[in-house]
Structure 1
Amino acid sequence: MIKALFFDVFGTVVDWRNSIAVEFDRLAKEKGLDLDGQAFALAWRRRYVPAMKVVRSGERGFVALDTLHRENLIEVLEEFGIDGLSETEIDELNRAWHRLAPWPDSVPGLTRLKKKFILATMSNGNVALMINMAKHGGLPWDMILGAELAGTYKPEPETYLTGCRLLHLAPEDCMMVAAHNGDLVAARDLGLKTAFIARPTEYGPEQKVDFEAEHDYDVIADSMEGVADQLGC
């Protein structure tokens, strides 16, 4: 009997690539820079997993994703030859991750699912980031869970299990919803139910994986509303 749905957010619920590209294109226009927002967004995102890997390995103590994003942003600005931004402007660009737009089906699907289940993030994003994103995009979460509360990043088991414990639920009472096979396999190995949503345009031309479900998950859909359909909402 599923009682709670845990959601990966970046890529599954929100379209980070196009959202970041729009923010950077706006800044580039203001500053007179002839640069590609899509290329900038992808370059920034490429540093995401390596930055978390250092924390997961124990080589570095836990720091919030906002901090990792800002450190990575400094590197990307250097890579693109962009200088002259003030600390305030860099901070504002870093907060672009707080303003990511949902995929068109996300809010309608989540609204349907909320009538039957507890909805919680299970994201590597820190709490403030997740709350601001929810306010910006109208995401109807009941609770913010994930890396910051567990003190480590997915796919470390403690991330998922901390969420279960905070809701006083057994893993089998929870379902992980994600567009990434690795995320779902990690959750399934801990006893959670799983739902795959295909987001084949998440990385645009750089997408190489996660075009489709690679395992026999409990739910396989091509939209959030498809998940709601299969779960009887």
Structure 2
Amino acid sequence: MNAPGALVFDVFGTVVDWRSTVIAEGRMRGARLGLDVDWAAFADEWRAGYPLAMDEVRRGALPWTNLDGLHRRILDRLLAARGIVLDDAEAAEFNRVWHRLDPWPDTVEGLTRLKARFPVATLSNGNVRLLVDMARHAGLPWDAIFSAEMFGHYKPDPEVYLGACRLLDLLPSQVLMVAAHPSDLRAARAAGLMTAYVSRPLERGAGAAMAPWSDGEFDLVADDFVDLARRLGV
């Protein structure tokens, strides 16, 4: 493939380990508040609720709502289903766990190497403030933050991918989308972007099934971000 003019990255699961971070924070809060909760199941349900919440916006059942708002709606439902009552300040602070997710071990090194040659930016459904806070927490060296919030659409809507290309002043064929999720990459490819799959086998916990994909489906396949940098000659 041709050398990309810029790299854009999915964030949740690709750049950061959302599940382990949410579980750890849930256990910390549970110990402090005396809550008996299966925090691994809680984290999985919280994440699983987000595609359904986005669909509510797409169908018009909800007005445009950023990811913080969607996460809070899901959190409130999960707490109510377990009979847990938190005051608003406590619930709001728990909801901000998504702002302080920890990176995968290879993330910062790999991004730093890639940034030495290419512009690197987020392309995430996370809202701008969430992504800025996460970058500061995790030391993520982005050149730019691109969020679904900027385009009024969520991935995998094509407006998100094409909007990032437009802001980069590049053709879609000059932009490489990096993600650990085949569905995200397929949508980016349909919008004309190049694609790079990075394996994150622990995203949903040890032994969890990964979404299937086919050999040759994506332009690049890498074990992690350091391997991606090597494959791009950095």
Q: TM-score range by the shorter chain?
A: over 0.9
1:53 aligns with 2:55: yes
Question: Partner of 1:124 in structure 2?
Answer: 125
Question: Partner of 2:32 in structure 1?
Answer: 30
Q: Unpaired segments of 5 or more residues in structure 2?
A: none
Question: Partner of 1:42 in structure 2?
Answer: 44
Counterpart Cα distance in 1 of 2:97 and 2:207: 21
Amino acid at match of 2:9: F
Contact 1:196–1:213, Cα closer than 8 Å, also in 2: no
Counterpart Cα distance in 1 of 2:202 and 2:43: 14
Q: Relative to 1, partners in 2 of residues 1:111 and 1:211: Cα closer, same or farther, differing over 3 Å?
A: farther
Contact 1:8–1:178, Cα closer than 8 Å, also in 2: yes
Question: Partner of 1:219 in structure 2?
Answer: 220
Q: Relative to 1, partners in 2 of residues 1:214 and 1:12: Cα closer, same or farther, differing over 3 Å?
A: farther
Question: Partner of 1:94 in structure 2?
Answer: 95
Counterpart Cα distance in 2 of 1:176 and 1:194: 5
Counterpart Cα distance in 1 of 2:194 and 2:132: 25
Contact 1:198–1:211, Cα closer than 8 Å, also in 2: no
Question: Partner of 1:78 in structure 2?
Answer: 80
What's the C-alpha RMSD, in Å, of the aligned pairs? 1.5
Q: For 1:53-202, what aligned pairs fall within 5 Å after superposition? A: 53-83=55-85, 85-202=86-203
- What SS class does the counterpart of residue 164 from structure 2 fall into? helix
How far off its partner does 1:59 sit? 3.8
- What SS class does the counterpart of residue 121 from structure 1 fall into? strand
Amino acid at match of 2:74: N
Counterpart Cα distance in 1 of 2:148 and 2:25: 25
Counterpart Cα distance in 1 of 2:63 and 2:94: 25
Contact 2:182–2:212, Cα closer than 8 Å, also in 1: no
Deviation >2 Å, runs of 4+: 56-61, 205-216
Q: Relative to 1, partners in 2 of residues 1:213 and 1:220: Cα closer, same or farther, differing over 3 Å?
A: farther
Contact 1:122–1:163, Cα closer than 8 Å, also in 2: yes
Amino acid at match of 1:90: A
Counterpart Cα distance in 2 of 1:166 and 1:73: 33
Q: Relative to 1, partners in 2 of residues 1:34 and 1:146: Cα closer, same or farther, differing over 3 Å?
A: same
Of all paired residues, the percent bearing the same amino acid is 50
TM-score scaled by length of structure 2: 0.95
Counterpart Cα distance in 2 of 1:53 and 1:214: 30
Counterpart Cα distance in 2 of 1:10 and 1:217: 20
Q: Relative to 1, partners in 2 of residues 1:206 and 1:51: Cα closer, same or farther, differing over 3 Å?
A: farther
How far off its partner does 1:215 sit? 4.8
Contact 1:56–1:156, Cα closer than 8 Å, also in 2: no
User: How many residue pairs were aligned?
Assistant: 232
How far off its partner does 1:208 sit? 3.4
- What SS class does the counterpart of residue 47 from structure 1 fall into? helix
Amino acid at match of 2:14: T
Question: Partner of 2:23 in structure 1?
Answer: 21
How far off its partner does 1:60 sit? 2.9
Question: Partner of 1:230 in structure 2?
Answer: 231
Pick one of 12, 15, 22 that aligns with 1:10: 12
TM-score scaled by length of structure 1: 0.95
How far off its partner does 1:18 sit? 0.5
Amino acid at match of 1:71: R
Q: Relative to 1, partners in 2 of residues 1:215 and 1:184: Cα closer, same or farther, differing over 3 Å?
A: farther
Counterpart Cα distance in 2 of 1:230 and 1:205: 27
- What SS class does the counterpart of residue 76 from structure 1 fall into? helix
